[in-house]
A and B are shown apart, each in its own frame.
Chain A
Amino acid sequence: MDCDAFYASVEKRDNPELRDKPVIIGGGRRGVVSTACYVARIRGVRSAMPMFQALKLCPDAVVVRPRMEVYAKISRDIRAMMQDMTPVIEPLSLDEAFMDLRGTETLHKAPPAVMLARLVNRMKDELGLTGSIGLSHNKFLAKIASDLDKPRGFSVIGQADTSRFLQGKPVRMIWGVGHATQEALSRQGIRTFDDLLRWDKEALALKFGTMGERLWSVARGMDVRPVSSSASVKSISNETTFTEDTSDLDLLHGHIWRLAEKVSDRAKAKDMAGRVAVLTVRTQNFKRLSRRVTLRDATQMADTLYHAVAPLLPQVMEQAPFRLIGVGLATLVPVDEAERTSDLLDPQAAKRKAAERAADQIRARFGTDAILKGRSLK
């Protein structure tokens, strides 16, 4: 199941005035489009497009800043509806998930196709949102099917239809085949699934490694990866794109703090902590640099994360100015394994942590902007 223009649809639902207008969800002038509604898509706006380009294509678009907490809440509601159908759910993002429906027919006394139709009806009735369904015998095909006739799509690729369906289709349909792989394939004369079928497994593996083996399988409509509900989050990160490229240390530190707070909020919501702190920047020529440090003790506190990430900034400053900065926590562990030993040399740490917990409680009651660190206002 894949929601249709999820963030934009939520905004339109909550603000009927936006219904017929082109709506773009994303950050400021120099940000990137995270979702465009279908009206905006007709004008050529796409996800991940730089905002200035989107606004050139569609100057009358209404740009709305994402309200992640709202989307997360709705995502949980949808997840709950899926739970009524099957326990084996693998979320790909807030608005997209694989479900393994094998064996559920006996339980629900209805085949998966019927259950999925009921799911999208429930989403429409209870949440006012639409989604597209792709039903097939593996993840690779289900994902393709869900994109086939969006929005409000419902596509089925059965075992018997598979090879006929893939005939003549371009390899870029394969999830994970991006521009670089497409180019490499095309140099070998591979553009469609039919081209792939002419190669044997060993030759593909030799040329493209593990990706080659996967290509061999998917060319035959095969994909053995299970729907895995246990695929836990491996990292939590947030990033921001600047209005103007910057090498201003004060500003960068302000952003690091704000992002550390966001990452920390999400870690706290999940009761997780991370053992590795990560700083990411993107340079003017779109090169992505990242620096990481392993913490002695896993943490979920914004203060600790900030103090771990801030010293990494000088390591990349040579490549400044930056157009984007990001902060993350990786190698996640449950929170009861975090911050178990305090620091002899930093006796103030306990007080700062207590202050952060108190601030969290204030935010929970009075809203996220109720209390801020001066640092984040820069």
Chain B
Amino acid sequence: MKLSIERSDLLKAVSQAQSVVERRNTIPILANVLIEAEGETAQFRATDLDIEVVDKTMAQVERAGATTVSAVTLHDIVRKLPDGALVTLTDDPIKGRLTVEAGRSNFSLATLPKEDFPVMATSEYSANFSADAPVLRRLFDKSKFAVSTEETRYYLNGVYMHVADGDGGQVLRCVATDGHRLARIDAPLPDGAETLPGVIVPRKTVGELRKLLDDDDTKIAVSVSETKVRFATPSITLTSKVIDGTFPDYTRVIPQGNTRKMEVDASDFAKAVDRVATVSSERSRAVKLSLDEDRLVLSVNSPDSGAAEEEIAVAYGDERLEIGFNAKYLLEIASQVDRENAVFLFNSSGDPTLMREGNDTSAVYVVMPMRV
């Protein structure tokens, strides 16, 4: 194999590859990226056996062929090469080496045979649809903060993507929760998504997917089966196993009868929470909200480190209420709000609180209070 490729194209392809490969891997081939050259394209494939990413890019192919080489090392080399350089990759299968040449730099890397590289089995997808990058970006960005990291509840270690009944008919919905907070984000149902089986997209896949969504004009081809999900742009294909588990019935935990309504400027609120939380103890991070007519007092009182109080103007017309939260949870949900106002709906100091953006029910957050 021999090919030449623009440094920036190569960097893009190998940086995606090196973030997918498992670093602590005990199977050497899984640390490698499979490079295949044919016609006018070079294809870079990396996998951790759960996720596979394939990046196809234009290249001048002198000699077709394929080999595998350490994704991290290749990435580190390309990263350090000067911008605009033309990089030539030459494979010597007899010596088991790949030569990387750019200008006066010359590297020789150990390779492993391409036959040993595990390629993810193709599967039948039961739903195929196309979605605009900004739509997927919103669905996953606003929900991923609530994904659980608890290994014992592995079925919460991802974003649950499924079809649901929203306010105006069927919607494409993403839900994530760790038991302390929950995010439920809706988007209009794309054509072809009606048959989508509900799947739990793993946290790592969500992270990798995010890299495909930066460009507003990109259309993403989404394919879903019971066991796999695939997101593809014209050049990159990301295929991932989904979490084999049942996502809990979240609809029961979204409070319906919360009537005490507080409306607040989201960014003022987030900044105030952040300020008073400075003195909260490392362990608890508890912030108390004291609500009275059109007045919210945020306070922290930690015997070890000190106290803080800040008052902000809100719209609130219900009875007095005192309720505590983990500052981190409050900050995270407040920072999801794009428009100006966040609407909080409380019940009692022991019940879950609901938050949404204005009157928009397409993004709803639930947070459990904390005893203060």
Are B284 and A337 neighbours in the complex by a CB distance under 8 Å?
yes
Are A342 and B368 neighbours in the complex by a CB distance under 8 Å?
yes
Are A345 and B283 neighbours in the complex by a CB distance under 8 Å?
no
Q: How many residues of A contact B (CB 8 A)?
A: 15
Give the residues from 340 to 365 in chain B that come closer than 8 angstroms, CB to CB, to chain A.
350, 352
Distance in Å from the Cβ of B301 to the closest Cβ of chain A?
13
Distance in Å from the Cβ of A161 to the closest Cβ of chain B?
46
Chain A residues, CB < 8 A from B352: 344
B30 at the interface (CB under 8 A from A): no
- In the bound complex, how far is the Cα of B253 from the Cα of A293, in angstroms? 26
Are B180 and A340 neighbours in the complex by a CB distance under 8 Å?
no
B326 at the interface (CB under 8 A from A): yes
The residue in chain B whose Cβ has the minimal distance to the Cβ of A350 is B350
A43 at the interface (CB under 8 A from B): no
- In the bound complex, how far is the Cα of B153 from the Cα of A293, in angstroms? 12
B366 contact from A311, A333, A342, A344, Cβ within 8 A = A344
Are B180 and A296 neighbours in the complex by a CB distance under 8 Å?
yes
B370 contact from A308, A333, A340, Cβ within 8 A = A340
Are A344 and B284 neighbours in the complex by a CB distance under 8 Å?
no
- In the bound complex, how far is the Cα of B177 from the Cα of A342, in angstroms? 13
B177 contact from A296, A339, A345, Cβ within 8 A = A345
The residue in chain A whose Cβ has the minimal distance to the Cβ of B369 is A341
Are B283 and A341 neighbours in the complex by a CB distance under 8 Å?
no
Residue among B179, B324, B352 with the highest chain A CB neighbour number at 10 A: B179
Chain B residues, CB < 8 A from A296: 150, 178-180
The residue in chain A whose Cβ has the minimal distance to the Cβ of B153 is A345
Are A340 and B152 neighbours in the complex by a CB distance under 8 Å?
no
From known contacts A343-B368, A344-B177, infer whether A333 and B182 are also in contact, taking CB-CB under 8 Å. no
The residue in chain B whose Cβ has the minimal distance to the Cβ of A345 is B179
A293 contact from B152, B179, B371, B372, Cβ within 8 A = B152
Q: A293-B151, A342-B350, A344-B180 are in contact. List 16 more A-B contacts (CB 8 A).
A: A311-B152, A333-B283, A337-B283, A337-B284, A340-B370, A340-B371, A341-B326, A341-B370, A341-B371, A342-B368, A343-B179, A343-B180, A344-B177, A344-B179, A344-B366, A345-B156
Which residues of B are in contact with A by a Cβ distance under 8 Å?
A: 150-152, 156, 177-182, 248, 253, 283-284, 286, 324, 326, 350, 352, 366, 368-372
The 7 A-B pairs of least Cβ separation, nearest first, read A311-B152, A343-B179, A340-B371, A344-B253, A340-B370, A341-B370, A345-B179
